[in-house]
Each structure stands twice: as C-alpha cells, then as structure tokens.
C-alpha cells in the first residue's frame, strides 16, 4: 500500500492547514487511516485516526476541537483539517494505514503502511 500525502507547509499561529492522504488504486474501505506527528527525539504519536469499518474517529487531547478528520464518500482520500494551529503543532506529519483487524486504534506501532511525511511549521 503506497500512501501519498499532500498539503502541509508553514503558517503563523492561529492559521489553518489541510492535509490529504490517498492510496493510488486503492480504496480505504477496509483500512483505518491516521495522521501521526513526529518531532526530533520523540516517538511518532497519533494525532487523529479514522476507521472505515464503523466511521469512528479518534483525536488526541492536544488537537480536540481544532482538527477534523474526514473521508470522502468513495473512501479514496482522507483529509485532516487543522485549524487554530499553535507552535506546539510543529512537526513532521505522516499518514498511516492499517487493515481493519481487531479494535480500532491510533497507536503508531499498530500501523503498517506509511506516507513519506510532510513538514508542518507553525510560527509565533
């Protein structure tokens, strides 16, 4: 499964960005898709995840109320709308995918496929 990310970049605090993740030739109907953030010296952590099995969503505490994860009806692309960004949101954001088995999860270690990562920089 090849994941292709788009979006990202630099923005001032309080601004917005939108990330998108797609897998060419594949629908996400049988997968959970998540966005994960990694900063230097720290492990990759789950930001927001979406399970196509039951349309459930997960948000980490530090993004609740600011980020929104959605999937198009065809289950081809998953978006992460990031609003009211702050400096602490800075990092490399990765799209991850896992086949829907067992309980839905947003733990990075449970995801099998990864995009190349995209840098998000929020300045004060």
8 Å CB contact between 115 and 8: no
- pLDDT tens-digit series, residues 1-31: 899 999 999 999 999 999 999 988 878 888 9
DSSP character at residue 30: T
Band of residue 76 on the pLDDT scale cut at 50, 70, 90: confident
Distance CA 90, CA 121 (A): 5
- pLDDT tens-digit series, residues 82-106: 999 999 999 999 999 999 888 889 9
Would you state the pLDDT for residue 74?
77
């Amino acid at each position: 499964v090849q994941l292709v990310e788009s979006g990202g970049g630099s923005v001032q605090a309080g601004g917005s960005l939108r990330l998108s993740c797609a897998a060419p030739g594949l629908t996400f109907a049988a997968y959970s898709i998540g966005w994960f953030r990694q900063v230097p010296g720290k492990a990759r952590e789950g930001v927001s995840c979406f399970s196509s099995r039951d349309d459930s969503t997960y948000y980490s505490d530090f993004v609740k109320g600011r980020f929104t994860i959605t999937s198009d009806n065809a289950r081809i692309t998953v978006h992460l709308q990031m609003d009211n960004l702050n400096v602490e949101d800075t990092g490399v954001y990765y799209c991850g995918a896992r086949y829907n088995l067992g309980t839905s999860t947003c733990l990075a270690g449970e995801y099998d496929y990864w995009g190349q990562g995209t840098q998000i920089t929020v300045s004060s």
